[in-house]
Chains A and B, each alone.
Chain A
């Protein structure tokens, strides 16, 4: 079965600094990859997705992610963090052969210092 690991439970970053969130997955083939963001008490919003093609994908709110097949990773980055980026971020893996179900990582909570 596939699995997703987000090694960092919490990350604190200063406003204006860069941010990188790590995501590693375990699966025999290339899955579909997603990053979602969740504000407290809210649902999840899709930031970006990777299905195939260019391994560097751009998303909303200035986020980007890079798929590295050799490392089974899909790390999320933002060059300059804004206070409104404080939230919880989830990496997810989707596999069509498994009924299009998503498997989520445990999440990384991002705190932004002024």
Chain B
């Protein structure tokens, strides 16, 4: 079945360590996005990519990095520079031209201790 797969579902890391969250899609979508969700704050955009080998910062990019080497993959690295990394992270994708409907993965809950 087509869809977006995020892994792992739960992730625990020690403070000061970098961690990479995986996002893979087989929908043949050009655009991919990373959102962060905190209670009561809705979803905030971290990074997005409209095409392979290109990506742009969203509203809260500090302390995060991404790559887009393949159309189907858009991993997110949470670096030690991110001050409050504990959150629920959601990956999404959409057809880039015109239709902006986004499809979401099931999310990764990151806990930094």
Q: Which residues of B contact A (CB under 8 A)?
A: 4, 6, 31, 33, 35, 40-45, 48, 50, 56, 58, 88, 90, 92, 94, 96, 98-107, 109
Contacts and interface: CB of A to CB of B under 8 A. Distances in A.
Nearest to B99: A51
Nearest to A51: B99
Given A42-B107, A43-B105, A100 B50 contact: yes
Contacts of A96: 98, 100
B36 to A, nearest CB: 11
Contacts, number: 67
Give me the 7 closest cross-chain CB pairs, A-B, nearest first: A94-B100, A43-B104, A104-B42, A100-B100, A104-B43, A106-B42, A44-B104
A95 B48 CA distance: 14
Interface string A98-111: 01111111110000
B41 A106 contact: yes
A34 interface: yes
Nearest to A107: B42
A99 B106 contact: no
- Interface centre among B4, B35, B101, B109, by most chain A C-beta atoms within 10 angstroms, is B101
Interface in A33-62: 34, 36, 41-46, 49, 51
Interface in A60-104: 90, 94-96, 99-104
A102 B91 CA distance: 12
A17 interface: no
A25 to B, nearest CB: 13
B58 to A, nearest CB: 7
A30 to B, nearest CB: 13
A51 B94 CA distance: 15
Contacts of A45: 104
B107 A43 contact: yes
B32 to A, nearest CB: 11
Contacts of A43: 4, 6, 90, 104-107
A42 B106 contact: yes
A9 to B, nearest CB: 7
B42 A9 contact: no
A105 B44 CA distance: 9
